Structure 1
Amino acid sequence: MPDEAATTSPGHLDSLTVEEEGKLQEAWIHLLRLCGVEESAKLETPNQTQEFREHLSDKSADGFRHRLWTFILADHPDVLVLRFLRARKWDVEKAVAMLVSALNWRHERRLEDDIVNKGDSIGLAETQSDDEKRFLAQYQSGKAYIRGSDKEQRPVFIIKVRLHDPKLQSPESMEAFVLHNIETIRTMIRHPNEKACLIFDLTGFGLKNMDFHVVKFLVQVFEARYPEYLGVVLIHNAPFVFWGIWKMIQPWLDPVIASKINFTSSNGDLARFIAQENLQKCYGGKDSWEYNYVGPVKGENAGMGLEKKQQVEADRTVLLRQFEQLSLEWVRAKPDSPDAVQKVAERRELAEQLRENYWHLDSFVRARTYYDRVGVIGRLGEVDYKAAT
């Protein structure tokens, strides 16, 4: 059942003020122009397409459209745009520039090709590079996993820092591991519960576990590339040695991220955020589950690259072009008019069709993960955060 607080949070899809909806419409005008939608050039909003394209290495409209809709995944398209608007305090120009920059970063990092489309399926290859072996070792170690949800129905991502040794893998393989986990979490969250709960478990933490590169990378990607994905961050059982390190880390934190951080040291502290039935026994809760990595099996990605993909993609192209056209009509409609209300309803219905379409496409573009194998993520996107037993 959706959390009431999540459905009424200011600046979110179901709780926009007239001014915020106007900002969202303005952002879509810029995005439609970048996608090459000709009619959008006629709208009154100043055309800044050339300025925004300066953030792109591939400045083609088709390339931009592809990257935008790949980033959207299965959620209502407005949800992604609103993340960037909130992150830039409703400054439309800054928000669109930030989103365009994030899309370019994803393209240059080959995020879809090298992270999402491969994942830990590289374990099926006859030979692996050293970085690929180290990437797999992160999953096998149990140092990080998703289990259960918090009181606001957000997935709980637990990082057991004592199991991390920065000397055992390259920064590149750790970055790939971090990004693959973030992308996996993204497949599990959707409106109105749009964020995640992170627990940094510092039980048994020592200086040998400290990895400044990973910390900086996490701060950078959550601030600039995945804004508004963090709901709450719990730093649990921090030992005395950590507090000197904390003084070094604090200046790196964006104020918004810093405001989400809470320090916990007991079951009672954690219980403020996570119900006992969703809290593992190692934290004083009632959940007896323990992580046991289940690796890829031959044939699990057999659907990827088949001819059926072309038909699903063709269907998606039709739907997203319809969504673009509806967005133009929504922008043109007089605020609060019956026509505007109708366009909002039609866009929401079409967004649902896009969501369903994505999950038919999913098996062609995303390698199966541990969470698919154990049933946390269902074939059509259903999520059960405690399916793994």
Structure 2
Amino acid sequence: MTLSSVTAQTGYLDNLTAEEEGKLQEAWIHILRLCGVEESVKHKTPDRTRELQQHLSDKSADVFRRRLWSFILADHPDVLVLRFLRARKWDVDEAMAMLVSAVNWRHERRLEEDIVAKGDSVGLAAARSADEESFLAQYRSGKAYVRGADRERRPVFVIKVRLHDPKLQSPEAMEAFILHNIETIRTMIRYPDEKACLIFDLTGFGLKNMDFHVVKFLVQVFEARYPEYLGVVLVHNAPFVFWGVWKIVRPWLDPVIASKINFTNSNADLARFIEQENLQSCYGGKDSWEYSYIEPVAGENERMQSEKKADVEAARAELVRQFEQLSVEWASLEPKSVASVQKVAERRHMAKKLAEAYWDLDPYIRARSYYDRAGVLGATGAVDYKAAQ
């Protein structure tokens, strides 16, 4: 396939109806007000800034602005906003409350400081806490990894549940491992291929592997914090004992997430979603690769301590300011009008510059991961899901 299936659906960046573009404009008016861009108050959209600020621990416009842009990463900013709009069925008020709450949650969870900036670089520390040791043990175990892409060009994230023992690490260590995986995969996916394929491999699964805390956490974060990141979920080789567990888990699922779940039991079942060339041989495919963790290397994160970081951040901040100004101008235009189409093109061009600026900044704010060391994720953001041969 040459194009992702999202290009055939409305509600995505390149295929918005006039009504959907209008909703996106409304959303940006709220965002711009929260960021302290005062020019946006002239628009007819009611000012809900104070109400939305109730979801924030710090109501400073500058603080929200910084946290929002650390959430956006390298994609077109509209892609993130559209995720929340689709998740709330285009109710702008609910979508913005959800987005603002997610921004605040990221701060409370210290995602930038403890998850993104540290990651598995804790493997280089002379002394590690029990949770840090457990965090590393998850990566070394091979219980979860990205390998290849599915037929929709989405990264395939494999979870081998039989390798998980909930008694071997604290819930906090598992949550950190999950969040680090999500944040790492977020650096790999690009519009229009903006979702992931998850395989829960239940081969050899027993009740000793069941971790209800992890399941609840996954459900919560994908529903409320990372909406619209799941493309399809494949539950593979579920044994008889699993179906009792499923009766408990099924009611926890949001209907949208539940609709993405497919049960597979054979190579033919998986081949409906993943081509043979991209399917590991352990599942009957032609890819003989097996996961082997690559340990962090001394000096790989040295730029995180560089004085140049401030200059790189300032360069990106200027592009953010320009994108915001273009958004102010675009938000006042009639959706799909000639003027709007032109402004959309200008914003697209600026978004491309922002993406390039992000990858300039990336080595100063994100610790290198297994996927950087394996060559899956390149220095300029290029992705090769089968780089590690």
For the superposition of Structure 1 and Structure 2, which TM-score range results when normalised by the shorter chain?
Answer: over 0.9
The share of aligned pairs that are identical, in percent, is: 75
Q: CA deviation at 1:138?
A: 0.2
2:333 is matched with which residue?
333
1:103 is matched with which residue?
103
Residues in 1 aligned to 2:145 and 2:9: alpha-carbon distance in whole angstroms: 27
1:222 is matched with which residue?
222
Q: Given the alignment of the two structures, is residue 24 of structure 1 paired with residue 21 of structure 2, yes or no? A: no
User: Aligned runs of 1:198-209 on 2, under 5 Å?
Assistant: 198-209=198-209
TM-score of the pair, normalised by structure 1: 0.99
Residues in 2 aligned to 1:179 and 1:343: alpha-carbon distance in whole angstroms: 36
Q: CA deviation at 1:151?
A: 0.2
Residues in 1 aligned to 2:137 and 2:91: alpha-carbon distance in whole angstroms: 42
Q: Given the alignment of the two structures, is residue 70 of structure 1 paired with residue 77 of structure 2, yes or no? A: no
1:120 is matched with which residue?
120
Q: Aligned with 2:305: secondary structure?
A: coil
Q: Given the alignment of the two structures, is residue 254 of structure 1 paired with residue 254 of structure 2, yes or no? A: yes
Q: CA deviation at 1:2?
A: 4.6
CA contact (8 A) 1:148 1:385 kept: yes
Question: Which segments of 5 or more consecutive residues in structure 1 lack a partner in the other structure?
Answer: none
CA contact (8 A) 1:8 1:14 kept: no
User: Aligned runs of 1:156-235 on 2, under 5 Å?
Assistant: 156-235=156-235
Residues in 2 aligned to 1:2 and 1:368: alpha-carbon distance in whole angstroms: 30
Question: Which segments of 5 or more consecutive residues in structure 2 lack a partner in the other structure?
Answer: none
Q: Aligned with 1:159: secondary structure?
A: strand
CA contact (8 A) 2:4 2:193 kept: no
Q: CA deviation at 1:260?
A: 0.1
Residues in 1 aligned to 2:3 and 2:266: alpha-carbon distance in whole angstroms: 25
Letter in 1 for 2:45: T
1:293 is matched with which residue?
293
Q: CA deviation at 1:4?
A: 4.2
Q: CA deviation at 1:308?
A: 1.5
CA contact (8 A) 1:2 1:193 kept: no
1:57 is matched with which residue?
57
Q: Aligned with 1:234: secondary structure?
A: strand
TM-score of the pair, normalised by structure 2: 0.99
User: Aligned runs of 1:361-376 on 2, under 5 Å?
Assistant: 361-376=361-376
Residues in 1 aligned to 2:139 and 2:343: alpha-carbon distance in whole angstroms: 45
Q: Aligned with 2:216: secondary structure?
A: helix
Q: Given the alignment of the two structures, is residue 33 of structure 1 paired with residue 38 of structure 2, yes or no? A: no
Letter in 2 for 1:255: P
Q: How many residues align?
A: 389
Q: Given the alignment of the two structures, is residue 273 of structure 1 paired with residue 273 of structure 2, yes or no? A: yes
Show CA shifts across 1:240-297 (max 9, x none).
0000000000000000000000000000000000000000000000000000000101
CA contact (8 A) 1:142 1:291 kept: yes
Q: CA deviation at 1:5?
A: 1.6
Change (3 A) 1:4 1:149: closer
Residues in 1 aligned to 2:4 and 2:313: alpha-carbon distance in whole angstroms: 35
CA contact (8 A) 2:102 2:225 kept: yes
Root-mean-square deviation (CA, aligned residues, Å) is 0.8
Show CA shifts across 1:8-64 (max 9, x none).
222100110000000000000000000000111221110000000000001100010
Q: Aligned with 2:383: secondary structure?
A: coil
Q: Aligned with 1:240: secondary structure?
A: coil
Q: CA deviation at 1:307?
A: 1.6
1:92 is matched with which residue?
92
Which stretch shows the higher mean deviation, 107-116 or 330-339? 330-339
Which stretch shows the higher mean deviation, 297-306 or 76-85? 297-306
Residues in 2 aligned to 1:373 and 1:251: alpha-carbon distance in whole angstroms: 40
Q: CA deviation at 1:145?
A: 0.3
